[in-house]
Amino acid sequence: MHLGQRVPVIWYRMRIRTTPRSVDQSIGNGIDLTGVTLPGAPVVVAGSNGHIAWGFTNSYGKWLEVAPVPCRTLDRNALAVHWEEIRVRGAPSVRFPVRTGPGGVLLEQRQGQCWFGSWLAQLPAASNFNLLSLEQVGSVQQALALAPSIGIPHQNFVVGDREGHIGWTIYGRIPVAMGDRRADGSSGWLEEPAHPTTIDPSVGRIWTANARVTSDPDQERAIGGETATLGAEYDLGARASQIRDDLLAIQAPAKPADMLHIQLDDRAVFLTGWRERLLAVLDADSLKDHPERAHYRKLIADWDAAADTGSVGYRLVRRWRDLTQAAVWDMILDGLHIPADESFSAPPQFAVPTLRLLQDRPLHLLSPRYASWPQLMLAQADTAIAQLQRECGDLDRCTWGQQNTIHIQHPLSRALPFLSALLDMPTLQLPGDHDMPRVQGMTFGASERFGVSPGHEAEGYFHMPGGQSGNPFSPYYRAGFKEWAEGTPLPFLPGPAQHRMTLRPVSEHSTPACSGGERTCAMANRP
């Protein structure tokens, strides 16, 4: 799961083993559950129970509604007002009103329009702890059948079982309504078989990567991908297609090492098309009397086609792509008389249309600032050269690792930098980028990484960019960080116990006491 990275780490590793409490034979000798949870949450979010293994990625769909209403048509008395308070250290608290109406929360008033927003996750009926049921699920079919009752913010749920079945669905309650006002929850919830689901597809593989998962039009309508802006804001798809191709290249049966190889794949498959466009525009005519362009082209021609820390060519192409995509986006907005600002930054999906524009070069979309599309492309190349020379001094030294240097910080060290050496994880150059399986930025990347086949947990691996402890003096504070960074597999299952705490109920009025190396604690048994 790719998330913002910080210290202490987001997840907490957990193994739960219980004695039998059911005659259900699918549970066997009780629960043996291994995975990650959020500290303090009573549920394992992703992992394996010996019968199934599962994980999540964010599902982009129409789960919220934002709509304008003419302010003059509103009856101000119909708006409910709730006062919120922000407590400010060393200053008076700030109170502000939150106004709600039939369309949800009043977000903004602008040019006579009142913008209301509603989100499914805010509805009481959309949230519950039914995810706990996964602890005792014994098959893919059972796990998918739970989907309509699971109350969490909507996620792609992928699951496999020890019999070899695989499946995908959306975990999170989906409203029956497909159009407007679906986020207010008034239409009720989809049940089976209308809930989007896939089991054992003919291709024998399932991948998500925040992209469109289903090609079924009814399922896509249920997710809202056809009506939401920009295809429900799915990811670009470059990463998903690279994962797909990596999966299809595996000759069954797959092994955990195959999964780790995919998760660490930093090949620049998508950026290759941009490199070809750049090399084509840097032709002999454009290089005349431009030695810097010639040197720039040579470094790009010699690239290793990967977001490796030592790659100069990757960084040079990546910078040109970013500048060119932004320039084309701003040019389109300018033609539509829309001011270019951060609120209208280019979405990820605009990368493919940009490549098409660079290929077809339609003159009616070209800004008067440029005599031709090649001139626009060369202008961005010159800008990239100037920027990178300022940053690196010499283009030969402009490696991707210099830019892709991770800074996984503790909140306190941001305010008190002198604590950085004590609190932060080591600063390292790492391979990877956004449009490839190994997603890695300076403060964003794999919050955990694991591969496991249910029933074969001892063969699985696990990574996390930090340890269990929040105490910087503990040996478990940075445990596992080095292996996460280097991609060296660590066991999915925990090793031998180093410390043990035993909790035993005693009388209502006794005082808790701990003793011995194993720390046996007598705790008052209160309701």
Interhelix angle for 238-248 vs 256-263, to 10°?
150
Mean local confidence (pLDDT), 372-391: 97
pLDDT attached to residue 228: 52
Fold category of 64-122 in CATH: Penicillin G acylase, beta-roll domain (2.30.120)
pTM of the predicted model over 0.85: yes
pLDDT tens-digit map of 277-306: 999 999 999 999 999 999 999 999 999 999
pLDDT tens-digit map of 53-67: 999 999 888 888 888
Tracing tokens 């039998």 back to the chain, one arrives at 20
Residue 358's alpha-carbon distances to 277, 324, 374, 466, in angstroms, are 8, 9, 8, 43
pLDDT tens-digit map of 348-365: 888 999 999 999 999 999
pLDDT tens-digit map of 245-280: 999 999 878 999 999 999 999 999 999 999 999 999
Give the C-alpha separation, 306 to 309, whole Å: 9
pLDDT attached to residue 524: 43
| Strand, helix or coil for residue 81 | strand
Give the C-alpha separation, 462 to 444, whole Å: 18
From-to residues of CATH 2.30.120 in the chain: 64-122
Classify 271-403 by CATH class.
mainly alpha
Neighbours of 205 (CB within 10 A): 14
From-to residues of CATH 1.10.1400.10 in the chain: 271-403
